[in-house]
Chains A and B, each alone.
Chain A
Amino acid sequence: MVANGPSFRLLPRLSDDVAFFWTSGEDGVLRFLQCNACQFFNHPPGPVCRRCLSRDLAPHAVSGRGRVETFSVNYQEWIPGSEPYILAWVSIDEQPDVRLTTNLVDVEPEDVAIGMEVEVVFEHADDVYLPLFKPTSDGGHT
């Protein structure tokens, strides 16, 4: 058994530009800042679309499904009291060049593989909803 993450969650500051992302999980939905002009998802969020420079940007819901691009099982106790936990870079299905650094949960290290399909689950910590990922419930392991 590995943990879902470190013993203690260092949390983001909910500044105006990122608060939507870190609180999006309140209704169980993952959102990214999307350009209304060219539909490009911009992550991390910025004041203009990095593809077309439009300022017409708004948070937009995504499916919450993605793919493990790479991972690591962390053993070093950087944060005191932590048990081993799994980190991953997960790309989102809607735009695979958007990746989240995240934790994989409900899975053991020996069952993790690059390319495996995952879906978002949120961990509520103070006023933040951290997007973590677990193997897809419909077993999309191919």
Chain B
Amino acid sequence: MSPRPQEEPLERRAIISGIGQSDIGRRLGRSEIDLTVEASLAAINDAGLTRDDIDGISTYPGMGVGTPGFSGPTTPEVQDVLGLRLNWHDGGGEGAGQMRAVIAASLAVAAGLARHVLVYRTVSEGTAQGEGGRQGIGGGGGGGKVPRFGGFMQWSLPFGAVSAAIWIAMVGQRRMHEFGLTREQLGQIAINGRRNAALNPKAIYSAPMAMEDYLAARMISSPLCLYDCDAPCDGSTAVIVSHRDAAADLDHPAVHINAVGTALRGRPSWDQFDDMTSMSARDAGASMWERTELKPSDVDTAQLYDGFSVLTMVWLEALGFCGRGESGSFVEGGGAIARDGLLPLNTAGGQLSGGRLHGFGFIHEACVQLRGEGGSRQVVRPGGRGPEVAAVANGGGPIAGTMLLTRGIR
């Protein structure tokens, strides 16, 4: 099933040369384009570039898809406001997770279509939701003329399965049945995130959370409670993807893209996927390891999507940090995933406490850690060295992408 092996995966010709992030908050009341410009200019500056150097742009998803505040500005809007002259441009919501925009940029750079690509992801879900709380996909109901639904949503919306929270709750319950997953184990993902968020000045929630707080939270869709669900927010994250021959010009360590994982070998569906415990993370994870000589044991920190806590459990197994069904016992007690543990996990607090930056927060934090810029939350590995290999994963259900990033070339 795997494509023909190459001498060198092409994504390895790309680096992340700069990173930037806007203010992040529950409800900033700022426009998405304003946040995006802030993050983008910070990333361009961090890479030691000017806007005249940027000749590519990419985002996820753009084009106004999804619930209010979800999609961020389109690439034409950002190109125009920054006055960019582009050789390559791309955006969309289909592909290997939210990071599909970064993966596409790496391949564009490798193919010579562009040299320095601005990649961004912007959300304003906090402001968009206002005081009304989180919305279901497809909206509410009642009163007036309500639209009918086609496509994949028709198979879930009529039954009130209107949120990814519900679809992922199904996976959580199945994992409890097959693997003996417990709520206390799920809680370790939330508590670990909160502990790390306390050291991230931009985090949404930083007040300490104990297991009893987690267990007492109101149920959303069993077995998921409020603290199993990420925190909608406003914010923008940007990275600059450049050709690796620009690495020598940087005033900080270059973050190299070692391998990407993009496979979707099962059915592209939440409820028809063959394995009800792993989802397509299984395929994306496997395909990444097929493209590198590195092993799971080489990874110094993992930044794994936690839109819902169950997804992080799924990714821990999909990326081979533990066996199938063993993520519950892997996180038991929280020691293995702590900053000084076997696999420091979601060191900026993840989306559960850091805010739902929708995948790109993990990419940003992996770069921060590899560059040794984590400050009070910097991971230090046994022997006193900084992290050299980071795994990043985005997505849930049929949406999954993963990347292996390294400090320097490996």
Q: Measuring CB to CB, which residues of chain A are less than 8 angstroms from any residue of chain B? A: 5-15, 18, 43-44, 69-76, 78-82, 85, 87-89, 97-103, 109, 114, 125, 128, 130, 132
With a CB–CB cut-off of 8 A, which chain A residues contact B272?
43, 97-99
- Please tell me if the beta carbons of B276 and A70 are within 8 angstroms of each other in the complex: yes
Q: Does B171 contact A (CB under 8 A)?
A: yes
Question: Chain B's nearest CB lies how many Å from the CB of A139?
Answer: 21
Nearest to A88 among chain B residues (CB) is B170
A8 CA / B162 CA spacing, docked (Å): 12
- Assuming the contacts A6-B141, A12-B154, asked whether A79 and B159 have C-beta atoms less than 8 A apart, the reply is no
Question: Chain B's nearest CB lies how many Å from the CB of A41?
Answer: 11
- Please tell me if the beta carbons of A103 and B136 are within 8 angstroms of each other in the complex: no
- Please tell me if the beta carbons of A12 and B161 are within 8 angstroms of each other in the complex: no
* Chain B interface residue count, Cβ-Cβ cutoff 8 angstroms: 43
- Please tell me if the beta carbons of A78 and B135 are within 8 angstroms of each other in the complex: yes
Question: Chain A's nearest CB lies how many Å from the CB of B274?
Answer: 7
With a CB–CB cut-off of 8 A, which chain B residues contact A100?
155, 271
Q: Measuring CB to CB, which residues of chain B are less than 8 angstroms from any residue of chain A? A: 134-136, 138, 140-142, 146, 148-150, 152, 154-163, 165-166, 169-174, 177, 218-224, 270-272, 274, 276
Which residue among A78, A100, A132 has the maximum number of chain B CB atoms within 10 Å of its CB? A78
Nearest to B167 among chain A residues (CB) is A101
- Assuming the contacts A7-B141, A69-B174, asked whether A130 and B159 have C-beta atoms less than 8 A apart, the reply is yes
- Please tell me if the beta carbons of A11 and B163 are within 8 angstroms of each other in the complex: no
Question: Chain B's nearest CB lies how many Å from the CB of A98?
Answer: 8
With a CB–CB cut-off of 8 A, which chain A residues contact B171?
70
- Assuming the contacts A6-B160, A128-B158, asked whether A12 and B276 have C-beta atoms less than 8 A apart, the reply is no
- Please tell me if the beta carbons of A103 and B159 are within 8 angstroms of each other in the complex: yes
Question: Chain B's nearest CB lies how many Å from the CB of A18?
Answer: 7
Question: Chain A's nearest CB lies how many Å from the CB of B253?
Answer: 43
Nearest to A76 among chain B residues (CB) is B220
30 inter-chain pairs at a CB distance below 8 angstroms, sorted by A residue, are A6-B162, A8-B140, A10-B138, A11-B148, A11-B158, A12-B149, A12-B154, A12-B158, A13-B154, A44-B152, A69-B276, A70-B170, A72-B172, A73-B219, A74-B221, A75-B220, A75-B222, A76-B221, A79-B136, A79-B162, A80-B140, A82-B160, A87-B166, A87-B169, A87-B170, A88-B170, A100-B155, A101-B156, A101-B161, A103-B160
Nearest to B273 among chain A residues (CB) is A99
Q: How many A-B residue pairs have CB under 8 A?
A: 135
A71 CA / B224 CA spacing, docked (Å): 12
With a CB–CB cut-off of 8 A, which chain A residues contact B157?
10, 12
With a CB–CB cut-off of 8 A, which chain B residues contact A97?
272, 274
Nearest to B220 among chain A residues (CB) is A76
With a CB–CB cut-off of 8 A, which chain A residues contact B140?
8, 78-80
- Please tell me if the beta carbons of B271 and A101 are within 8 angstroms of each other in the complex: yes
Task: Give 8 new A-B contacts, CB below 8 A, not counting A12-B149, A76-B220, A79-B160.
Answer: A7-B141, A12-B148, A72-B221, A73-B219, A74-B160, A87-B221, A88-B170, A101-B155
A1 CA / B176 CA spacing, docked (Å): 24
Nearest to B141 among chain A residues (CB) is A8
- Please tell me if the beta carbons of B173 and A71 are within 8 angstroms of each other in the complex: yes
Q: What are the 9 A-B residue pairs with the smallest beta carbon separation, nearest first?
A: A8-B141, A6-B160, A78-B136, A12-B154, A13-B148, A72-B169, A70-B174, A10-B157, A73-B222
- Please tell me if the beta carbons of B220 and A79 are within 8 angstroms of each other in the complex: no
- Please tell me if the beta carbons of B271 and A99 are within 8 angstroms of each other in the complex: yes
Partner of A76 from the list B138, B152, B163, B172 (CB cut-off 8 Å) is B163
Question: Chain B's nearest CB lies how many Å from the CB of A76?
Answer: 5
Partner of B276 from the list A8, A9, A82, A89 (CB cut-off 8 Å) is A89
- Please tell me if the beta carbons of A80 and B142 are within 8 angstroms of each other in the complex: yes
With a CB–CB cut-off of 8 A, which chain B residues contact A109?
222
A18 CA / B150 CA spacing, docked (Å): 9
- Assuming the contacts A75-B219, A79-B140, asked whether A114 and B155 have C-beta atoms less than 8 A apart, the reply is no
- Please tell me if the beta carbons of B158 and A9 are within 8 angstroms of each other in the complex: yes
Partner of A12 from the list B150, B177, B218 (CB cut-off 8 Å) is B150
- Please tell me if the beta carbons of A102 and B159 are within 8 angstroms of each other in the complex: yes
Question: Chain A's nearest CB lies how many Å from the CB of B155?
Answer: 6
Nearest to A69 among chain B residues (CB) is B276
Nearest to B169 among chain A residues (CB) is A72
With a CB–CB cut-off of 8 A, which chain A residues contact B163?
76, 78
Question: Chain A's nearest CB lies how many Å from the CB of B27?
Answer: 20
With a CB–CB cut-off of 8 A, which chain A residues contact B166?
72, 74, 87
Which residue among A11, A79, A101 has the maximum number of chain B CB atoms within 10 Å of its CB? A101
